[in-house]
Amino acid sequence: MNRKFNICTGLKYIFAACLLSCALVSGAHASVSSIIIDAETGDVLSSSNADSLRYPASLTKLMTLYITFNALDKGLIKFEDKLPVSRNAANRSPSKLGLKKGETITVRDAVLALIVKSANDCATVLAEGLGYSEENFAKTMTEVAQELGMKNTTFKNASGLPNRAQKTTARDMALLGAAMYHHFPEYYKLFATKKFTYNGRTYYTHNHLLKSFEGADGMKTGFTNAAGYNIVTSAERDGHRVIAVTMGHNTIRQRDTKVASLMKKGLQKLAMSDHIEAPNLYANADTHTYGEPSLIEAATVADEAPASDVWAVQIGAFSNYAKARNYAISVKKQLKMAGAEIDIEPAQKGSAVIYRSKLVGFEKNEADKTCNSLKKSNKSCIVIASSENQQLVMAKNN
């Protein structure tokens, strides 16, 4: 992902003006807040109470991790560095690893403990290691939030433990999630970690979407009595990525059901708006189609038949190159076709340019099988004979 992504302009709808006078609401007594955005463009796909002030709970740790990743990226710290555990860190209330004063923990273990276990003691260890004191670190957290456009967010500690002055909104948290994804793609992958072992004990993620929602790969959950159940999460399907936030639920089940629904609808919306189905593209393209040839035509076809490995499966067309390529990558991964190559072909469609997404390098029978497999998973495709006369054969259903 391009580091030059301009978070302040790319997420053009995230920075909509918020009502600064809105009351801070608690999870048990207020309407739920939610938002889902296109991670690539920042377009808001849907939202509800997205600007209501909320207690972030452990979503706070996303900013702690963002600053930690920035320090790692700049070489200020290393994953192998050992950080001391202070009395303040050791005395943090659960959730925690149970670190003791005077012990040390590596940056890597502290980061994984935040992601998987949501360990409050490790949040304080990182804060003190980077900011000398947790109070000083929290000021930096708020400053970074403002720089990212999180205008309604104030942090008071590194963990999200209760503090009446610590507040945020669903919209601001979506912005932080997008910044995390775009600015630190190599570290973002850590959010997909499902379990973490420390001192012989294995901890499992609180993010159930990693197991239950296809394409989900992070980020963070949170809970306090005042905040309710919160989550920031992201998922990618068919070349589209969304970031979803929902806050203030009364139960884990309600939270997970809501965010899964948000992501499903958001991904469907992106697929409908950007993906031109392959059969429709075929009908509109300047390409000759044929069914059963006549005897004379059959001889010509036989003479001009393509080599055995120059068949392609066209899987769709998109409004830009990146989405066409990302979709091809996801399909290739889905079908486990390491040998297939990706070909993105620009084509004129009226006054616009579209990008045909293709997998190439098949023998004819392999191309047919591939297309049929895609159709079984409700994906459209066509088989293309890549000969000089550019004949196009529609793949048949089983």
- Residues serving a catalytic function are 58, 61, 118
- Is the separation of the CB atoms in 215 and 236 below 8 Å? yes
- Report in angstroms the alpha-carbon separations of 361 from 223, 229, 299, 311, 366: 50, 49, 25, 6, 9
Tokens matching residue 181: 């994804």
- Report in angstroms the alpha-carbon separations of 325 from 32, 320, 331, 344, 376: 36, 9, 10, 7, 22
Amino acid at 17: A
DSSP for residue 213: S
Dihedral sign from CA coordinates of 115, 118, 122, 126 = positive
Q: What does residue 231 show for φ and ψ, rounded to 5 degrees?
A: -160, 140
Distance CA 76, CA 70 (A): 9
Burial (CB count within 10 angstroms: exposed 0-12, middle 13-18, buried 19+), residue 329? middle
Distance CA 320, CA 317 (A): 9
Q: What is the CA 66 to chain-centroid distance, rounded?
A: 16
Dihedral sign from CA coordinates of 357, 37, 262, 252 = positive
